[in-house]
Amino acid sequence: MDTSEVAAMLNMSTSWVYREASKLGLKGYKLGRGRNSKVMYKRAEIFRWLEQQKVH
Protein backbone atom coordinates (compact mmCIF):
# COMPACT_ATOMS: atom_id res chain seq x y z
CA MET A 1 0.00 0.00 0.00
CA ASP A 2 1.30 3.45 -0.71
CA THR A 3 1.15 6.34 1.73
CA SER A 4 -2.07 7.83 0.36
CA GLU A 5 -3.87 4.47 0.66
CA VAL A 6 -2.70 4.08 4.26
CA ALA A 7 -3.80 7.64 5.06
CA ALA A 8 -7.24 7.03 3.54
CA MET A 9 -7.65 3.76 5.42
CA LEU A 10 -6.72 5.37 8.75
CA ASN A 11 -8.66 8.55 7.94
CA MET A 12 -5.53 10.66 8.47
CA SER A 13 -3.43 12.92 6.25
CA THR A 14 -0.46 11.66 4.26
CA SER A 15 1.85 14.00 6.20
CA TRP A 16 0.63 12.35 9.43
CA VAL A 17 1.48 8.91 8.02
CA TYR A 18 4.98 10.04 7.00
CA ARG A 19 5.57 11.63 10.42
CA GLU A 20 4.07 8.93 12.67
CA ALA A 21 4.73 5.66 10.82
CA SER A 22 8.07 4.92 12.46
CA LYS A 23 6.70 5.83 15.91
CA LEU A 24 3.85 3.38 15.36
CA GLY A 25 6.21 0.62 14.27
CA LEU A 26 5.16 0.71 10.62
CA LYS A 27 8.14 0.10 8.43
CA GLY A 28 8.14 1.96 5.10
CA TYR A 29 9.82 0.59 2.01
CA LYS A 30 11.21 3.23 -0.32
CA LEU A 31 10.95 2.59 -4.05
CA GLY A 32 13.17 4.74 -6.21
CA ARG A 33 15.59 7.52 -5.44
CA GLY A 34 15.36 11.14 -4.55
CA ARG A 35 12.44 13.32 -3.58
CA ASN A 36 9.93 11.63 -5.85
CA SER A 37 10.49 8.13 -4.54
CA LYS A 38 7.44 6.24 -3.37
CA VAL A 39 7.09 4.82 0.14
CA MET A 40 5.14 1.60 0.41
CA TYR A 41 3.85 -0.24 3.49
CA LYS A 42 2.98 -3.90 3.91
CA ARG A 43 -0.75 -4.41 4.27
CA ALA A 44 -0.23 -7.17 6.86
CA GLU A 45 1.84 -4.87 9.09
CA ILE A 46 -0.85 -2.19 8.99
CA PHE A 47 -3.61 -4.66 9.88
CA ARG A 48 -1.43 -6.11 12.66
CA TRP A 49 -0.95 -2.61 14.11
CA LEU A 50 -4.70 -1.93 13.85
CA GLU A 51 -5.44 -5.19 15.66
CA GLN A 52 -3.15 -4.10 18.51
CA GLN A 53 -5.14 -0.85 18.84
CA LYS A 54 -8.36 -2.62 19.78
CA VAL A 55 -10.02 -1.48 22.98
CA HIS A 56 -11.21 -4.44 24.99
On the question of pLDDT at 1 being above 90, the answer is yes
The SS3 assignment for 51 reads helix
The pTM score is 0.79
pLDDT at 35: 86
Q: Confidence class of residue 13 from pLDDT cuts 50, 70 and 90? A: very high
Mean pLDDT, residues 26-32 taken together: 90
**DSSP code, position 42:** -
Q: Are strands 28-31 and 38-41 parallel, antiparallel or unpaired?
A: antiparallel
CA distances 34 to 6, 30, 38, Å, are: 21, 10, 9
On the question of pLDDT at 12 being above 80, the answer is yes
C-beta of residue 10 within 8 angstroms of C-beta of residue 17? yes
pLDDT at 2: 92
